[in-house]
């Protein structure tokens, strides 16, 4: 703005009070951190995961800190029918903000991937984001909204062996993001993607422990190589991804659209 007196205060731009946000994969890791930070900015929440117990833990944590409305939904996102039922359950109360975070991260040698394994990966990581975005756009076509899809640096720069199936699913998420940004920006939607890398989630920690206990030397070596080329020299915290989600969800990022933003400690630059 040219007139400084017309500038909106930063805290007002950041606030999501009066908004509803839907977060998939909300029971743990990055999704949990995103949910807590969105609640801190005042957003009411729809939390979605297949892990109902984890959702209840997150709900209790947030309720103990912030005065926001929270509804939890146990959904198998690999099944389109359950996604449709979710949106029917919130009909007339659709979210202003959609965060497609859910994903599975399983290692499998390329030559051993079968149709069932590939379909499961694509259904959870890519197809669920597609169907969730479709429902969001269809139901808010006259209102617009914010969509944030969570990809992975693995899609841009494959590094670990045994993740071809995962890589193509997450590259699809990036393509989905950019295509929707092109088609629906003028309809009032802002669509962006975040590509995390090297984030210390419970899932990553479990893989690390298993590799050490079972002496999986190839996995250990990959981890050491990964750390050696990280410019910041450390793994990231889920909250460091969540903070960027909050920025993109808020009016702080009102002119950020169709972007693919790494949160990776500089890995892609190295």
25 within 8 A of 74, measured Cβ to Cβ: no
**Active-site option among 46, 105, 166, 184:** 166
Helix residue spans in 41-163 (DSSP H): 52-63, 80-89, 115-122, 128-139, 153-156
Alpha-carbon gap, residue 200 to 29, rounded angstroms: 8
H-helix segments, the chain? 10-14, 29-40, 52-63, 80-89, 115-122, 128-139, 153-156, 164-184, 202-213, 217-228, 238-249
Distances from the Cα of 194 to the Cα of 17, 189, 204, angstroms: 23, 16, 18
The 10 Å Cβ neighbour count of residue 114 is: 8
Run of H or E residues at 97:
strand 97-100
Structure tokens that stand for 42 in this block: 């005042």
Has 105 been annotated as catalytic?
no
Catalytic residues: 166
């Amino acid at each position: 703005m040219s007139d400084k007196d017309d500038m909106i205060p930063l805290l007002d731009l950041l606030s999501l009070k009066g908004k509803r946000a839907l977060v998939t994969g909300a029971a743990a890791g990055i999704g949990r951190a995103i949910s807590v930070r969105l609640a801190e900015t005042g957003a009411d929440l729809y939390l979605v995961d297949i892990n109902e117990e984890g959702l209840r833990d997150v709900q209790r944590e947030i309720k103990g800190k912030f005065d926001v409305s929270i509804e939890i939904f146990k959904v198998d996102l690999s099944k389109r029918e359950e996604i449709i039922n979710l949106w029917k359950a919130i009909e007339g109360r659709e979210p202003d903000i959609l965060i497609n975070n859910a994903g599975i991260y399983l290692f499998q040698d390329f030559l051993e991937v079968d149709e069932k394994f590939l379909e499961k990966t694509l259904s959870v990581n890519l197809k669920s984001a597609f169907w969730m975005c479709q429902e969001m756009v269809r139901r808010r076509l006259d209102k617009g909204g914010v969509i944030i899809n969570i990809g992975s640096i693995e899609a841009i720069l494959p590094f670990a062996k045994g993740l071809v199936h995962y890589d193509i699913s997450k590259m699809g998420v990036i393509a989905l993001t950019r295509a929707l940004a092109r088609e629906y920006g003028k309809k009032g939607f802002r669509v962006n993607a975040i590509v995390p890398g090297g984030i210390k989630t419970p899932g990553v920690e479990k893989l690390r422990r298993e590799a050490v206990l079972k002496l999986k030397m190839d996995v250990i070596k990959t981890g050491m190589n990964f750390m050696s080329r990280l410019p910041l020299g450390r793994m990231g915290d889920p909250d460091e991804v969540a903070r960027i989600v909050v920025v993109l969800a808020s009016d702080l990022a009102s002119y950020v659209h169709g972007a693919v933003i790494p949160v990776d400690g500089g890995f892609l630059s190295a």
